[in-house]
A = this chain, B = another copy of it.
Amino acid sequence: MSTQKVRVGFIGLGIMGGPMAGHILGAGYPLCVYNRTASRVEELASRGARVGASPAEVAAEAEVVITMVSDSPDVEKVIGGSEGVFKAIRPDSVVVDMSTISPEVERDLSKLLQSKQCHLVDAPVSGGDVGARNASLAIMAGGEREIFERVKPLLEVMGQPTYCGSVGCGQLTKLCNQILVVMTLLGISEALAYARKNDLDPRVMVEATQGGAAGSWQLSNLASKIIDRDFAPGFMVDLMDKDLRLVLESAETSGVPLPGTFLVAGLFKEIQAQGRGREGTQALAKVLEAMAGL
């Protein structure tokens, strides 16, 4: 690529994609955007972004197309659909999918794009809407190393990219991240329910344990929210439920029994059944409390 900034397309301007695209525009990249709900493009358009009428129109304008949508079928449609990216993308372009979706779907899309001499980098993120606004997302990227290096400066506008391996390895890493998060959170939820039911001050318990082998980011940052009954979302139950479905589907495909993750996934269904899908993941604690009659 030239020393001029690459032309970027951005598809999916939701709570994450909106601020991410804003950082790209702010960094001086020529930007063309598309969103299914058209009203979301207005702010970026007023700042100078071009607006495409379809993912295909965005792809026709861009050398790098970023997608940030909800789930595997959304990415498949945005790329492979009748008005999709694949229809209009030009040779040697790169699609960077920053959605959290199935690793297997990423590999299939990569093969599709290769048929037009194009490349895929899967680059899901961690850090939530706060990370998106502050450009501090952890970005877990998979793809050919050379292609990753090509888009790395662009990713650095949104956060800290880590190269994880071949196509799909970004998603695999993100799904590992979610396994780690929910299992640690279940431990915290069980310890808090056990403490409260036994008249042990949960704040004392957290204080006494967080500095040692039991310590975790969530024990230091989410446990106090549970104790303070603050269930506002840092990361929403409905989204974690989706990610856990991706984990279990992928684990099934690859023949890896994950008994703990399977158990937590069931408990997340219970949170949703209680009508708490839009609360933060720390609402898991309430399921354990209910079991204990608290």
Binary interface profile of A, 63-103, with partner B (CB < 8 Å = 1, else 0)? 00000000000000000000000000000000000000001
Chain A residues within CB distance 8 Å of chain B: 103, 126-127, 138, 140, 162-166, 168-169, 172-173, 175-184, 186-188, 190-191, 193-195, 197-201, 204-205, 207-209, 211-219, 221, 234-235, 247, 250-251, 254-261, 263-264, 267, 288, 291-293
Question: Are A181 and B213 neighbours in the complex by a CB distance under 8 Å?
Answer: yes
Q: Which residue of B lies closest to A131 (CB)?
A: B212
Report chain B residues within 8 Å CB of A221. 213
Distance of A211 Cα from B250 Cα, bound (Å) = 24
Chain A interface, DSSP helix/strand/loop, else mixed: helix
The answer to whether B217 and A173 touch across the interface, beta carbons within 8 angstroms, is no
Which residues of B have CB within 8 Å of A211? 138
The answer to whether B162 touches A207, judged by C-beta atoms less than 8 angstroms apart, is: yes
Question: Which residues of chain B come closer than 8 Å to A255, judged between CB atoms?
Answer: 197, 292-293
Among B127, B201, B204, which residue has its beta carbon within 8 angstroms of that of A212?
B127
Minimal beta-carbon separation of A25 from chain B (angstroms): 26
Given the known interface contacts A180-B187, A194-B175, A212-B126, the answer about A260 and B257 at a Cβ–Cβ threshold of 8 Å is: no
Partner of A177, one of B173, B214, B218: B214
Give Cα A138–Cα B140 distance, bound, in whole angstroms.
36
Minimum CB distance partner of A128 in chain B: B213
Q: Is the CB of A172 within 8 A of B195?
A: yes
Chain B proximity of A290: nearest CB distance (Å): 10
CB distance from A168 to the nearest CB of B (A): 8
| B residues less than 8 Å from A288 (CB atoms) | 257-258
Minimum CB–CB distance from A292 to chain B (whole Å) comes to: 4
From B197, B204, B213, B234, A173 is in contact (CB under 8 Å) with B204
* Alpha-carbon distance A216/B187, docked complex (angstroms): 12
Q: How far is the CA of A168 from the CA of B198 in the complex (A)?
A: 10
Complex Cα gap A258–B192 (Å): 11
- Residues of chain B with a CB closer than 8 A to A218's CB: 213
In the complex, the answer to whether B164 meets A208 with C-beta atoms within 8 Å is yes
Q: Are A187 and B193 in contact (CB under 8 A)?
A: no
